[in-house]
Structure 1
């Protein structure tokens, strides 16, 4: 993946050739996303395995399924302004150690409320990691490779989600309280990630926005070489923060970042968390195996998204995947009764399309905002999405039980269609945009293809 410089002339910071340093930073970001995917993916199987031991009622199942997502909301919305004010480096470097401790404590829980508290706290840590990982990796990535590097985080998230399902599948028949090991094993990748992140430097873009140009230049010389120019220092009367996101300059992008994210994650988490239950409701005999197929297609879709993210305009990618996902779920409702194989195939194809679209959750929100409000903007988008996904995860088993699976699937179709229409109306193209330039114009609809 790495490139070498073709000229001795100085190059701009965002146009620097791709190096091992860039890949190392992206890989450091993947550890948190893998841990996040695992901790969210494992809960569906844990709730099935531990329901008897913990005496879980439908209410407790809904609360525990949504707890981490609710914590993510709080962590993201609080961390965004902090990261914009004090920087990304230290939060990025240390949050995985806290995550590892909380994950390990899950092994010892005795009551549902103890697991609920731990899942909420884990969600807060993950919300912080979402914000700083997306902001820091974006700001340390060259423009031409930004989409692919950020997509590595999406692939890692899908890998963690799929690994959780596979680990749960393998441990289900072990006997005893295997669900404790399913929960606690998420501490292992977090420990490895913590050691790997400590050497990652602060964002030069953030440093120059805060007048620390010499520090930014030193980081660039050390990691990218003397032929790369530091980003230009930008003097701004604004200090950034949440209030700035809702000014005339940024509010349309803030709305797009939050709403597209919400409309993606509602069906993703609602159907993914309870994939075995959904498949059983559709008449599939081996629901657990069908859920495994769904999760494998999630990983395949994430890899496909990585391959195409810099070859398709962001706007077209957003709109196309929303309407394709809605069409596949509609077909699932129409043809599920014909043959269980058709039901599994359509469900798996839906997972592939939605997982490819998840790459945009890592690439698109950081590109929507300038550096002084990037972490805050990403925080608002993540917080909004987690509020939506927590609500849908809580409501889906209740809706299926009361009204049937087709009503739940129909709701997901409606959400996907709304997301496609919102992006068609408002979403700007960002693939050619420089991170050193604040977006001044309202959402535009350029037809140009991104460079690749």
Structure 2
């Protein structure tokens, strides 16, 4: 859909921020679920498996996976703006159902709908932002999505502390605030211009592909397959841990000895505050200027140290603060921020959003499978028992991202595409 006659076009940083709000909404949804799961469990008399199902079918896992699988190819076929015209309408319906949920079935439906909307919106957001960003500020612009993603949980946990005395009503109010944010974002996005790169690429002969054609093209080229494997190793393995932390972190703190709900939430406010600061000061300001390989490696290594301390060190104040600060800073300059950047850089325009969808699908399915059993395993074998799996996943993500860091910094998307799919220009020498 085009911009209505006489309306003001939304471009530049304003457009970046409007699109990045998909990530605030995604993260906000996950935290709204995380801070309300115990309350819903008590309200509807749910067992741990039913709670795991709520988590796994939500914006944190399978719901988002389905949205990404559908939204990615549609985004490549019909345009980036097409997704923004409809995804938030579905999202608003989902959160309204959560606000007024009176049964487990109604709540489950709400979580599935918001998840689908989030999956479609987030895959389009990183794509659109990267395509519209200046070549030498692409990380700064893509980092805005990561910044919104980290501010969402920080505000979500603050709200959880403030409305905690209200019980389940307070959780409903948190979902209501997400409805308001989504409505305002949808209004602002009406003025978004279509991605210039997508529009010009779509005018080339053979550029328009069907839904299935886009997926067939994605899997038929070696350049695409190697990038998919690389990014799965970087993001999906890391997200298998981060996904559980995002939605079950209060339970993880409880397993580590912190039983006060207020203390758990305040630790999360500190963690996400550190993520927000590290995203801006570390990723947005540095990833366009310094070695991405060592920036990524440093963030990933800090995340491993933080989890090792939480799992194996004595559960005292120092350990908990070290974890919150270390994991928070790590997330700001770690796998998700670089994933959003590299996924936009490593695929040709005609495959870019479809690749986002496939990777997001794979990552969220992995999270979903683990989410079904994570609360059960946490209860039965404890944090120590899960420790080796957590550290193994994070270490694999560190090694893959560090060893095979793409050399894309400072290059235009067209130049990267030419190098990966055709004859590369030889005049530019750019470091990783």
Cα distance in 1, alignment partners of residues 184 and 371 from structure 2:
30
1:348 equivalent in structure 2: 325
Cα distance in 2, alignment partners of residues 333 and 160 from structure 1:
26
Displacement of 1:241: 1.4
Query: Is residue 112 of structure 1 aligned with residue 104 of structure 2?
Result: yes
Larger gyration radius, structure 1 or structure 2: 1
Q: Is the 8 A contact 2:126 2:340 kept in 1?
A: yes
Unaligned regions of 5+ residues in structure 1, if any? Answer: 1-19, 212-233
Q: Is the 8 A contact 1:369 1:377 kept in 2?
A: yes
Displacement of 1:363: 1.8
Q: Is the 8 A contact 2:240 2:370 kept in 1?
A: yes
Determine helix, strand or coil for the equivalent of 1:371.
Answer: coil
Cα distance in 2, alignment partners of residues 175 and 86 from structure 1:
43
1:96 equivalent in structure 2: 88
Cα distance in 2, alignment partners of residues 238 and 48 from structure 1:
47
> Which of 53-62 and 287-296 deviates more?
287-296
Query: Is residue 79 of structure 1 aligned with residue 71 of structure 2?
Result: yes
Given the two structures, how large is their TM-score scaled by the length of structure 2? Answer: 0.87
Cα distance in 1, alignment partners of residues 268 and 407 from structure 2:
31
Unaligned regions of 5+ residues in structure 2, if any? Answer: 1-9, 422-427
Cα distance in 2, alignment partners of residues 353 and 383 from structure 1:
23
1:219 equivalent in structure 2: none
Displacement of 1:23: 0.2
Given the two structures, how large is their TM-score scaled by the length of structure 1? Answer: 0.83
Cα distance in 2, alignment partners of residues 105 and 55 from structure 1:
19
Determine helix, strand or coil for the equivalent of 1:372.
Answer: coil
1:389 equivalent in structure 2: 367
Query: Is residue 325 of structure 1 aligned with residue 303 of structure 2?
Result: yes
Q: Considering only aligned residues, what root-mean-square deviation do their CA atoms show, in Å?
A: 2.5
Cα distance in 2, alignment partners of residues 391 and 439 from structure 1:
38
1:198 equivalent in structure 2: 190
Determine helix, strand or coil for the equivalent of 2:65.
Answer: helix
2:312 equivalent in structure 1: 334
Query: Is residue 140 of structure 1 aligned with residue 114 of structure 2?
Result: no
Q: Is the 8 A contact 1:50 1:179 kept in 2?
A: no
Displacement of 1:244: 2.3
Cα distance in 2, alignment partners of residues 154 and 174 from structure 1:
31
1:319-369 superposed Cα distances (whole Å, 9 cap, x missing partner): 3322331222223333234x3432342243123212332322322211111
Query: Is residue 37 of structure 1 aligned with residue 11 of structure 2?
Result: no
Cα distance in 2, alignment partners of residues 89 and 291 from structure 1:
36
Given the superposition, is the C-alpha separation of residues 176 and 316 from structure 1 closer, same or farther in structure 2, using an over 3 Å criterion?
closer
Displacement of 1:308: 2.7
Which of 177, 192, 217 aligns to 1:244? It is: 217
> Which of 364-373 and 314-323 deviates more?
314-323
Q: Is the 8 A contact 1:323 1:420 kept in 2?
A: yes
Map 1:14-33 → 2, pairs under 5 A: 21-33=11-23
Given the superposition, is the C-alpha separation of residues 381 and 295 from structure 1 closer, same or farther in structure 2, using an over 3 Å criterion?
farther
Query: Is residue 128 of structure 1 aligned with residue 106 of structure 2?
Result: no
Displacement of 1:164: 1.4
1:171-214 superposed Cα distances (whole Å, 9 cap, x missing partner): 12124633322333310100000110011111111111122xxx
Displacement of 1:439: 5.4
1:299 equivalent in structure 2: 273
1:371 equivalent in structure 2: 349
Cα distance in 2, alignment partners of residues 33 and 208 from structure 1:
27
The number of aligned residues is 407
Query: Is residue 67 of structure 1 aligned with residue 23 of structure 2?
Result: no
Q: Is the 8 A contact 2:157 2:268 kept in 1?
A: no
Determine helix, strand or coil for the equivalent of 1:329.
Answer: helix
